[in-house]
Structure 1
């Protein structure tokens, strides 16, 4: 995969996470909703891919933990 593709994946992750936060702030989504946690999970996983490629360890681990939190949120909904 090219550097450009990794950057695109990182930007997609950014958009997904920021969208989740915006939608909760504007009350389009509830913080305990499945779409909210899925947006966070997908965004964080995209950021994990980007951070791994860039060897950005703090960003990598932040998003691994973010993903785990999103999964916990999804499990609690069910």
Structure 2
């Protein structure tokens, strides 16, 4: 398989992760923990960064870098809160 096919697959996987997280929160269809929600956002945005950087879509890559940062900070904050409560 050539590189473009892999990059496209990574991009589609990222899209599915981000949309699944957003859908679950917006419509309360799946009982998703905040950790899983942020993990899906982080994984999805990381995949989309790879895809958009490959295609030199730098504005989209920038948004996904910010999205990843937000998700990682939320995961870190959640972990700190969990440790404090223990």
TM-score computed with the length of structure 2 as normaliser: 0.83
| Pairing of 1:1-78 with structure 2 (within 5 A) | 2-27=3-28, 28=30, 29=32, 33-78=34-79
The runs of 5 or more residues in structure 1 that have no matched partner are none
The CA deviation at 1:35 is 0.1
Q: Which runs of 4+ in 1 moved over 6 A?
A: none
Q: Distance in 1 between matches of 2:61 and 2:70?
A: 14
CA RMSD for the aligned pairs?
1.1
The CA deviation at 1:76 is 1.3
Cα deviation digits, residues 13-43 of structure 1 (max 9, x gap): 000000001111232225xx10000000000
SS in 2 for 1:55: coil
TM-score computed with the length of structure 1 as normaliser: 0.91
Larger radius of gyration: 2
Q: Provide the aligned length of Structure 1 versus Structure 2.
A: 76
